[in-house]
Structure 1
Amino acid sequence: MPSTSRSARSTGTNRSPKPRRLAVLAALATAAALTAGVSAPAHAAEPAPTAAPATTPDGSAGAERQGGLPPIHPERDFAGSTVAAHEGRADTPALASLTATQTPGLDVASYQGNVDWASVAGNGARFAYVKATEGTTYRNPYFAQQYNGSYNAGLIRGAYHFALPDRSSGTAQANWFVDHGGGWSRDGRTLPPALDIEYNPYGATCFGLSQSAMVSWIRAFSNTVRSRTGRYPTIYTTTGWWATCTGNNSSFGATNPLWIARYASAVGTLPNGWTYQTFWQYADSGTFPGDQNLFNGAYDRLKALANG
């Protein structure tokens, strides 16, 4: 029986047959409405349902709203999208003076759209990193054109993931990444998958995680990628962010290649644990679409990295 009837019995009111029959009829009407798929009137207003996540052109969800966090704008997030605002730009290196010992390349995301890879290769690029995923909902809708197109133009290419450590676990994001483009094969043309972990574009610099929690998150991501692909991921970051958000942790230098971001004429001080960088993102514009990068070695060493 409805709670009003139970309350009535306990107070000794509404004992006459007519009110009792009305209460029964009301209960039967409610049950009939529910059976027919019609909601009975609510006694109190219920909160409106959360809006469904936005979607990208490929139909994948493009926003995460977890624990009251704001929705994401993954089309504006890419390797280095937060760097200049936090660390600025200085003079970029003279590329000609470095290409004798280093190998030029680029990184791209959905912002670049369909890339003319033949032109990119003709201008001297030898490798490319392509954004594949972000969080556990977003997939770059241009990934296939960018990832396969760079390969078909003769570049050595790899995929990267934009980390959102406050949204889900490192394990969950690593699995999403590997399942949607972040794989690896020993074909001499595929770079290790990469983790892009930088300043939070949605709020607190370190995503609300303590230094120890951030290290644990990165380790979970790294170990999951390693178990799934056979390679430890390259870690993209800045020296300043790494010091602030991991406490300058030194435990990844022995296993994970470093992709350092610094928009200056020299690579500068590296994060603790690394004695050299594998990749250097030295500018966010230049000869190639997207960001400008150098591999720290000649082309044969780049191929060796791809082969593992």
Structure 2
Amino acid sequence: MKNRNTLIHSIVVIAAILLSSCSTGEAPVKELAPSKAETKEIAALDSTPVAVKQALGIDVSHFQGAVDWDEIKANNITFAYTKATQGATYIDSKFHQNWSEMAAANIARGAYHFYSTESDGNTQAEHFINTIKEVKAGEMPPVLDLEQGSIKGTIAMNQFHLEVLSWLTIVEAKLGVKPIIYTNNPFANQYLINEKFADYSLWIAEYGVAEAKTPLTWKDKGWSIWQRTERGNIEGEIGNVDHDITNVALHTLQIK
């Protein structure tokens, strides 16, 4: 196994790609020299200690193309999420391949749904459940991705909260495990001010900082997973992937 510094240097390359979970359309990959901000981001990651209790992971979608999950596993990645669905009808074109190959590589796998206000929470929950079918012991809890791209047009805040809570409640009831909420600080502090959301573990996205800030709703609970860079490359995959770290021992998040 590589030590932590070697791992971080091996995963960061001079490339940039739109965050994969924000769109279902393809985005071109541009080869760029690292900016000053990206250089600082790399330095921040290199100086951030990884405690023994923490685990390293990645999240992917069709943007990454074919992934060699055995190589991913060999690079000390112990958990991974793949995009499953978006809205009421979309299924990520690489979901089924990633889902089966993650299991074969003995990586703790999880699936996420990108929420859209274009359809109700009930319909989206059923779409997600019908796609992933079931979850098993040792896997990661399902994730609901809530961010700026989720809001289409205008929607009353209380209605948005009811629809999101409907998704969370239905998925928990049907799959038997409480989902995780993925979001970022700007979105959470504008759209997720509701104490009921704090009942769900938080996966926070924040890049280029030494420590992630916690949104107001989760201020007393903190985050469980931190997506700390959206630009990185490791052996075994083609496109850039998001890199994640847990705040607790991995087994405490895995489905029992």
The TM-score bracket by the shorter chain reads 0.7 to 0.9
- Secondary structure at 2:173 match in 1: helix
- Opposite residue 214 of structure 2, the aligned amino acid is T
- Opposite residue 152 of structure 1, the aligned amino acid is A
Off by >3 Å, runs of 4+ in structure 1: none
- Greater strand content: 2
For 2:120 and 2:166, the matched residues in 1 are separated by: 8
8 Å contact 1:133–1:139 — kept in the other structure? yes
1:245-303 residue CA offsets vs partner (Å, 9 max, x unmatched): 23x2221212x1111111122111334135221111000022445100001123xxx22
For 2:178 and 2:227, the matched residues in 1 are separated by: 20
Which of these residues, 277, 283, 295, is aligned with residue 223 of structure 2?
277
For 2:124 and 2:60, the matched residues in 1 are separated by: 20
8 Å contact 1:107–1:291 — kept in the other structure? yes
Aligned equivalent of 2:98: 146
Q: CA RMSD in A?
A: 2.3
Query: Closer, same or farther in 2 for the Cα pair 1:95/1:123, shift >3 Å?
Result: farther
Runs of 5+ unmatched residues, structure 1? 1-71, 78-87
Task: Report 1:143-292 matches (<5 A).
Answer: 143-165=95-117, 167-181=118-132, 183-185=134-136, 187-188=137-138, 190-200=139-149, 207-246=153-192, 248-254=193-199, 256-263=200-207, 264-274=209-219, 275-288=221-234, 289-292=240-243
Aligned equivalent of 2:237: none
Aligned equivalent of 1:80: none
8 Å contact 2:214–2:222 — kept in the other structure? no
Aligned equivalent of 2:252: 304
Compare relative contact order (CA 8 Å, sep 6+) and give the higher one, 1 or 2: 2
Task: Report 1:9-158 matches (<5 A).
Answer: 74-76=24-26, 91=41, 92-94=44-46, 97-158=49-110
Q: TM-score of the superposition, structure 2-length normalised?
A: 0.77
Instruction: Among all aligned residue pairs of Structure 1 and Structure 2, give the percentage whose two residues are the same amino acid.
Output: 28
How far apart are residue 136 of structure 1 and its match? 1.2
For 1:126 and 1:141, the matched residues in 2 are separated by: 23
- Secondary structure at 1:157 match in 2: strand
Runs of 5+ unmatched residues, structure 2? 1-21, 28-36, 235-239
Higher Rg: 1
8 Å contact 1:251–1:273 — kept in the other structure? no
How far apart are residue 183 of structure 1 and its match? 3.1
For 2:162 and 2:172, the matched residues in 1 are separated by: 15
